[in-house]
């Protein structure tokens, strides 16, 4: 080849290397996408092919025949491996998983056979084996080599079929995209088969340059590194069509793969019109919302019912290994929208009413108490003061209950249940000196919980036992026990009249009516606290009279050495 022809060939190969290298680097930046790693591997192989071709051109000019032959052999090896990686990429792109399963490992191993057989033919020829032996052996090796090459061709065609079939099913994959990907991968083979008479470029060089241009176009214009699993394997087998919540399945780029009927009704679009569209064009108000896997939050959205508040959660959807082994690769995202407008409105109402109870009502009651002092009738004055004081106390307890419930949303910590029980017992011995409060406990029982909530829970139980008694000296027994299996138990027993059966049912059912309700919030606070702590609440009659309220809490650690403490506060 003339110097001008060599320089031209080197220039074309160098351009192909630059284009493919840039494309590989660009793809590498997004390698964490569902099909990113296999697409980068495919580009890296084709880039290596172009680098070897450039090296072969340079070696032919300056290095000699042996180096050129070695590089050409390496070129052949890369060309034989590409179909296996191409097929792996297409299977992952079609949502069939991107991992190396046993089948895919065998498939890739099959791409090595042509190289091994070619090397065996070269060795037999170099050894100058007698024709009587060498010719049959070489004939068998050539037959096997032809079968191996035919296998690679079948592998390539199978991947092309999967890609075309995928494009037929998904509106986001255009025919032009399929053509670009097929030509980009097959161009070096087609160029080598067709060849060219130009002195500055052989067929493979032209094919590699074409691949560089087409891969650059593909990565700039098309979603070549996302994933397109079959909608029925993503949505229909993972969500119930009759769900009241709107469920939308998105691909990596935020385009809708599937959606349930609730979504179509909620946003006034048919299911066919939703699929293939970006989520922002379907859901008004979703712009700027984080929809990455694991994200949660609330967002106002425009619906057929007007603007509503939705709580959303995003989950990664794994591939199912269609006709293959199951994989754990995330290929899509399922977004669930739950209408929480009524719930949030109700919570806002309760917040406002609670504020009114805590502030406005209390302020007015302070005025009532001030004016009550001016009433001359002692009986009337005492009745007004007692009722107003009870209401002030009720509002204060409601405020404390709210603060405690808010504390239960914080991160739990290890707390000593025994220490809290001793503090509460001592508090009520001091506050109610005529009471007889006993406490039995081990050295230490620790639980993972919220100290403020546990303290309020135990205080309410003791307070209820002390106040609701028929005698002048209320008797209360507090016991802290470890029940095994990381469960702690706190029981408060009294000798009062007991908790009426109907009130127990109201607390158990969790509802009140205008005709059937409890006075006060004490035991309701106990119920809410136990629920927030994930425990269990039980009521039973005491012997011979009174009630025993038992609370079981979990995630406990136990220390032995049971003791009993019995102290009666002096007046």
Q: Is the pLDDT of residue 467 over 50?
A: yes
Distance between CA atoms of residues 17 and 208, nearest Å: 8
Q: Tell me the CATH architecture of domain 231-339.
A: 2-Layer Sandwich (3.30)
Q: Is the pLDDT of residue 421 over 90?
A: yes
Average pLDDT of the segment spanning 186-207: 73
The tokens of 257 are what? 């793969």
The per-residue pLDDT for 340 is: 86
Per-residue model confidence as pLDDT tens digits over 10-26: 888 889 899 999 999 99
Q: Is the pLDDT of residue 522 over 50?
A: yes
The tokens of 125 are what? 């020829």
Distance between CA atoms of residues 24 and 224, nearest Å: 13
Q: Contact at 8 Å (CB) between 304 and 268?
A: yes
Q: Which of 46-60, 81-95, 106-120 has the lowest mean pLDDT?
A: 106-120
pTM summary value? 0.53
The per-residue pLDDT for 313 is: 93
CATH class of residue range 3-221:
mainly alpha
Q: Is the pLDDT of residue 182 over 90?
A: yes
Taking residue 27's Cβ as centre, other Cβ atoms within 10 Å add up to 24
Phi and psi dihedrals of 559, rounded to 5? -125, 140
Average pLDDT of the segment spanning 75-103: 78
Per-residue model confidence as pLDDT tens digits over 355-366: 666 666 667 777
Domain layout of the chain by residue ranges:
3-221, 231-339, 345-407, 409-568
pLDDT band at 417 (very low <50, low <70, confident <90, very high): very high
Q: Is the pLDDT of residue 217 over 90?
A: yes
SS3 256: strand
Q: Burial letters for 5-14: b for 16+ Cβ neighbours within 10 Å, e otherwise?
A: ebebbbebbb
The residues, any chain, with a CB within 8 Å of residue 394's CB and separated by 6 or more, are 520, 521
The per-residue pLDDT for 562 is: 47
Q: Which of 139-148, 260-269, 562-571 has the lowest mean pLDDT?
A: 562-571
Q: Is the pLDDT of residue 9 over 80?
A: no
Phi and psi dihedrals of 260, rounded to 5? -85, 175
Contacts by 169-175, CB closer than 8 A, 24 or more apart: 169/228, 169/230, 170/228, 170/276, 171/275, 171/276, 172/223, 172/228, 172/251, 172/255, 172/276, 173/222, 173/223, 173/228, 174/222
Closest CA to 225 of 369, 23, 400: 23
Q: Is the pLDDT of residue 199 over 80?
A: no
The per-residue pLDDT for 242 is: 59
The per-residue pLDDT for 121 is: 65
Between 132 and 316, residue with greater pLDDT: 316
pLDDT band at 3 (very low <50, low <70, confident <90, very high): low
Query: Cβ-count burial of 92 within 10 angstroms (0-12 exposed, 13-18 middle, 19+ buried)?
Result: buried
Q: Can you spell out the DSSP letters for 185-243?
A: HHHHHHHHHH----TT--HHHHHHHHHHHHHHHHHHHS-TTS----HIIIIITTS-TT-
The per-residue pLDDT for 476 is: 92
Q: Is the pLDDT of residue 230 over 70?
A: no
Average pLDDT of the segment spanning 79-104: 78
The per-residue pLDDT for 67 is: 74
Average pLDDT of the segment spanning 170-184: 89
Between 267 and 104, residue with greater pLDDT: 267
Average pLDDT of the segment spanning 521-527: 75
The per-residue pLDDT for 324 is: 44
Between 90 and 73, residue with greater pLDDT: 90
Distance between CA atoms of residues 428 and 478, nearest Å: 12
Q: Is the pLDDT of residue 71 over 60?
A: yes
**HSE-up of 138 (CA within 13 Å, CB side)?**
15
Taking residue 40's Cβ as centre, other Cβ atoms within 10 Å add up to 22
The per-residue pLDDT for 176 is: 93
For tokens 């069939």, what's the residue? 96
* CATH for 409-568, options being 3.40.50.20, 3.30.565.10, 3.40.1360.10, 3.40.50.150: 3.30.565.10
Q: Is the pLDDT of residue 177 over 80?
A: yes
The per-residue pLDDT for 500 is: 75
Per-residue model confidence as pLDDT tens digits over 317-376: 776 544 444 445 677 888 999 988 877 776 666 666 666 666 666 677 777 777 777 787
Q: Is the pLDDT of residue 489 over 70?
A: yes
Average pLDDT of the segment spanning 54-78: 75
Q: Is the pLDDT of residue 197 over 50?
A: no
Q: Which of 102-106, 490-494, 533-537 has the lowest mean pLDDT?
A: 102-106
Strands 475-484 and 436-441: parallel
The per-residue pLDDT for 419 is: 92
């Amino acid at each position: 080849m003339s110097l001008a022809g060599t320089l031209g060939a080197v220039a074309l190969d160098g351009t192909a290397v630059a284009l493919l290298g840039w494309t590989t680097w660009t793809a590498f930046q997004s390698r964490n996408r569902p099909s990113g790693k296999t697409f980068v591997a495919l580009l890296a192989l084709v880039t290596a092919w172009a680098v070897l071709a450039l090296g072969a051109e340079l070696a032919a000019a300056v290095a000699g025949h042996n180096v050129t032959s070695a590089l050409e052999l390496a070129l052949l090896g890369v060309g034989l491996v590409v179909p296996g990686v191409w097929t792996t990429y297409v299977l992952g792109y079609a949502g069939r998983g991107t991992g190396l399963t046993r089948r895919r490992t065998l498939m890739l191993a099959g791409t090595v056979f042509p190289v091994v057989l070619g090397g065996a033919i070269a060795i037999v020829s170099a050894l100058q084996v007698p024709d009587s032996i060498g010719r049959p052996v070489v004939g068998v090796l050539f037959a096997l080599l032809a079968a191996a090459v035919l296998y690679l061709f079948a592998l390539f065609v199978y991947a092309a079929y999967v890609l075309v079939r995928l494009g037929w099913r998904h509106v986001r994959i255009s025919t032009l995209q399929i053509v670009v990907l097929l030509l980009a991968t097959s161009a070096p083979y087609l160029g080598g088969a067709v060849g060219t008479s130009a002195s500055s470029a052989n067929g493979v060089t032209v094919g590699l340059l074409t691949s560089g241009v087409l891969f650059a176009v593909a990565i700039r214009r098309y979603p070549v590194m996302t994933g397109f699993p079959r909608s029925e394997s993503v949505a229909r087998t993972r969500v119930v069509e009759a769900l009241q919540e709107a469920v939308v399945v998105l691909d990596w780029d935020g385009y809708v793969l599937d959606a349930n009927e609730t979504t179509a009704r909620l946003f006034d679009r048919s299911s066919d019109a939703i699929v293939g569209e970006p989520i922002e064009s379907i859901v008004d108000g979703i712009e700027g919302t984080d929809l990455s896997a694991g994200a949660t939050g609330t967002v106002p959205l425009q619906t057929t019912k007007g603007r509503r508040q939705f709580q959303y959660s995003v989950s990664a959807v794994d591939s199912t290994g269609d006709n293959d082994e199951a994989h754990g690769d995330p290929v899509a995202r399922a977004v669930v929208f739950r209408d929480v407008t009524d719930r949030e409105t109700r919570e806002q109402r309760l917040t406002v009413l609670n504020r009114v109870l805590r502030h406005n009502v209390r302020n007015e009651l302070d005025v009532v108490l001030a004016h009550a002092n001016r009433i001359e009738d002692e009986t009337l004055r005492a009745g007004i003061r007692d009722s107003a004081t009870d209401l002030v106390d009720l509002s204060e307890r409601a405020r404390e209950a709210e603060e405690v419930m808010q504390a239960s949303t914080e991160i739990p910590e290890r707390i000593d249940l025994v220490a809290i029980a001793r503090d509460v017992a001592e508090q009520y011995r001091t506050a109610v000196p005529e009471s007889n409060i006993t406490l039995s406990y081990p050295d230490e029982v620790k639980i993972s919980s919220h100290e403020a909530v546990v303290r309020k829970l135990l205080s309410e139980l003791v307070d209820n036992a002390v106040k609701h008694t028929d005698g002048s000296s209320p008797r209360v027994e507090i016991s802290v026990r470890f029940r095994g299996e990381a469960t702690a138990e706190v029981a408060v027993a009294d000798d009062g009249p007991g908790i009426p059966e109907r009130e127990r049912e109201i607390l158990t059912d969790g509802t009140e009516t205008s005709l059937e309700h409890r006075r006060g919030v004490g035991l309701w606070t106990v119920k809410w606290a136990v629920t927030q702590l994930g425990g269990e609440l039980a009521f039973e009659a005491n012997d011979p009279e009174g009630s025993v309220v038992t609370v079981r809490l979990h995630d406990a650690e136990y220390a032995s050495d049971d003791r009993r403490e019995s102290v009666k506060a002096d007046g």
